[in-house]
Amino acid sequence: MSEDRRLDVLRAIVEDYVATKEPVGSRALVERHSLGVSPATIRNDMAALEEGGYIAQPHTSAGRVPTDKGYRLFVDQLSTVKPLSSPERRAIGTFLETAQDLDDVVDRAVRLIAQLTQQVAVVQYPSLRRSALRHVELVPVGLRHLLVVLITDTGRVEQRTLELGTDLDESVVARLRTRLNVSAAGRRLSELPVALGELTDGFAPADQVLVNAVVAVVEETLAQESEERVVLAGTANLARVGSTDVRSIGPVLEALEEQVVLLRLFSEMAEDHAAVAVRIGRETQHDGLVETSFVTTGYGDEGGGSVARIGSIGPLRMDYPGTMSAVRAVARYLTRILAQ
C-alpha cells in the first residue's frame, strides 16, 4: 500500500480517537475523511497498520485505537506545531506579563498550561546551576546588620541578613557592592568561586572581615537554593471522565509526587533535538506513567538554550498538536518575561 496513504489513515484514526474517545472503524473514516479510496482499501490499510503494531483492536467487533508506536509515528510526522490563535496569544501575554515576581510568574505559567491543555502542567523552577547572577545588592540595616540581596538573570531573588561584630562603614559597603557586581554579575554558579575569591584584593585587612563574610553568605545562599524543584497544577484533570483510564490515576499521581521522576524526565528530554520533546507511554521508563504522554520544551534563554523546562502530562489519547502548541507558546512568553 502507499506509505503516504497509510500515514493519512493513521492520522485520521488518531484524530478521531482523540475527538470521540471511541475506537475508530473503517466506515467512520470513509464518512469523516476524504481519503480518496474505497472502504475496502481503507480496511486493507488498517489491517497493515495493525500488523505493523501502529493500531490495535481493543476487543472483537470493535474499531481500532492507536498504540504507543502509532502515536509516536503520528507525532514524528507533525511537520510544524500549529500556532495558537491571536486571541489566545494575547490572553497568554496579558496573564503572564502582569505577574509581580518569579514565584508569581511560575505559578501563573503552570496554571495557564493546565487550563489550556486540560491536563497536568509541570513547570521546573529556573535552576541556579544554570542561571547567572544579574545583580548583588548590599543594604545596611542598622549599625551591624547587612542585607544581602541576590538577583539572577531568571528573576530569582534571594535575601540573607548578615550580622557583623563591628559597625558598618558605608563607604566600604559601597565599594564592595561595586566590586561584587563587576566581578560576579553575569557569571554562572560554577564560575563564581574564582571571581569571589579575588574580592579581598584591594581592601584593607580590617575591611576583609566584612568582604569574607559577604562572600561566604553569597556562596552559602547559592548552594542552598540550587536544589532543583518543580511546580504542578491541574492534577484534578486526571479525574475528568474519559481523560485517563481510571485504573491508571493512582500510579500516575504517585509518580507525579516523586519530583525526582519528573526532574529525570526533564533532564533526559532536554537532550532531544526537537524544539518540543514528546515521550509516549513506556518511553517515559516509569511504570506509573505508561498510560500517559509527556510534552515539554525549554524556556528562559533567548539565545536558544534554556535554564529550565515546562511541560504537560496527559493521557495517551491527548491532542498532541494542541498540547505542543500551548506548551511552546507559554515557554516563549516565559523566556521573554524573564529576559526583561
Whether 169 and 254 map to the same domain: the answer is no
Whether 234 and 220 map to the same domain: the answer is no
Whether 41 and 155 map to the same domain: the answer is no
Whether 240 and 317 map to the same domain: the answer is yes
What is the total count of domains within the chain?
A: 3
Give the domain CATH number at 322: 3.30.450.40
Whether 54 and 69 map to the same domain: the answer is yes
Whether 117 and 262 map to the same domain: the answer is yes
pLDDT value of residue 127? 67
Q: Are 81 and 325 in contact (CB under 8 A)?
A: yes
Residue 34 lies in a domain: yes
Pairing of strands 145-152, 157-163: antiparallel
Give the domain CATH number at 171: 3.30.390.10
Residue ranges in 98-153 assigned as alpha helix (H): 102-117
Average pLDDT over residues 25-35: 86
Q: State how far the Cα of 110 lies from the Cα of 337, in Å rounded to an integer.
A: 15
Kindly report, residue by residue over 131-147, the tens digit of the pLDDT: 677 888 999 998 899 99
Q: Are 28 and 16 in contact (CB under 8 A)?
A: yes
- pLDDT band for position 226 (cuts 50, 70, 90): low
Kindly report, residue by residue over 300-326, the tens digit of the pLDDT: 766 656 778 999 999 999 999 999 999
If you write DSSP's letter for every residue of 290-332 in order, what string do you get? TTEEEEEEEEE-TTS-EEEEEEEEEESS--HHHHHHHHHHHHH
pLDDT value of residue 129? 63
Whether 119 and 244 map to the same domain: the answer is yes
Whether 241 and 213 map to the same domain: the answer is no
42: containing domain = 3-76
Please say if the pLDDT value at position 291 is more than 80: yes
Whether 245 and 206 map to the same domain: the answer is no
For the full predicted model, state whether its pTM sits above 0.85: no
Q: Where a domain ends, among 186, 209, 224?
A: 224
Residue type, 340: Q
Strands (E), 197-276: 230-233
pLDDT value of residue 156? 74
pLDDT value of residue 247? 58
Phi/psi for 198 (5° steps) reads -95, 0
Please say if the pLDDT value at position 246 is more than 50: no
Whether 145 and 273 map to the same domain: the answer is no
Number of neighbouring beta carbons within 10 Å of residue 201: 9
Residue 202 lies in a domain: yes
pLDDT value of residue 1? 45
Residue 319 lies in a domain: yes
* Closest residue by Cα to residue 45 from 1, 4, 13: 1
